[in-house]
């Protein structure tokens, strides 16, 4: 199993960060994904409060991947796993949100995964950089919202 582990700090409180993280429709505004693909997603809540079990499909470039929400602890933790992904399998990720003493949010985004044969070294660097951009994007967008 391979892993990534990234952190970011937002000036926004956990409630503001959570709203963005929990609502898949906001991800294209702050993350590395280009689009939420509604027709490949299932169980999405129209108000942006996707429940455990929902599958959120995201397009980045020409690639569409899906993640299934496996756990939600309001304003504290979101967990998910791969529902479909051509390059990764056994992917599990956790996003922890912790309040800072200054009223902001410490974001800890970490995950484990396996790759298709021959992609391990490449994906290690790509995923670490991508997930850092995700955490930074979430932190910055929440602070500006």
Q: Which residues contact 67 (CB under 8 A, 6 or more apart)?
A: 55, 56, 58, 80, 81, 82, 83, 91, 93
C-alpha span between 122 and 7 (Å, rounded):
21
What's the pLDDT score for residue 51?
Answer: 96
Strands (E), 11-139: 35-36, 55-60, 63-73, 77-84, 88-99, 105-115
User: pTM of the predicted model, to two decimals?
Assistant: 0.93
- pLDDT at residue 93, rounded to an integer: 97
> Which pLDDT value is given to residue 117?
72
Residues 6+ apart with CB under 8 A from 121: none
What pLDDT was estimated at residue 122? 60
- CA distances in angstroms from 137 to 27, 37, 38, 53, 64, listed in the order given: 9, 20, 22, 25, 20
Over residues 69-79, the pLDDT tens digits come to: 999 999 999 99
Q: In the prediction, which pLDDT does 121 show?
A: 66
Segments of the chain with pLDDT less than 50: none
- What residue ranges define each of the domains in the chain, with the CATH number in brackets? 2-144 (3.30.530.20)
- What pLDDT was estimated at residue 138? 98
């Amino acid at each position: 199993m391979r892993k990534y582990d990234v952190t970011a700090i937002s000036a926004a409180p956990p409630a503001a960060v959570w709203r963005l993280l929990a609502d898949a429709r906001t991800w294209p505004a702050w993350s590395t994904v280009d689009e939420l693909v509604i027709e490949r997603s299932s169980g999405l809540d129209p108000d942006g409060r996707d429940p455990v079990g929902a599958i959120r499909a995201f397009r980045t470039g020409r690639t569409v991947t899906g993640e299934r929400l496996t756990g939600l602890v309001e304003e504290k933790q979101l967990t998910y796993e791969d529902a479909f992904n051509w390059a990764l399998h056994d992917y599990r990720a956790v996003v922890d949100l912790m309040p800072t003493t200054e009223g902001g949010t410490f974001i800890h985004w970490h995950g484990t995964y396996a790759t298709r044969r021959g992609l391990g070294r490449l994906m290690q660097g790509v995923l670490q950089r991508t997930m850092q951009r995700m955490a930074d994007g979430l932190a910055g967008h929440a602070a500006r919202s």
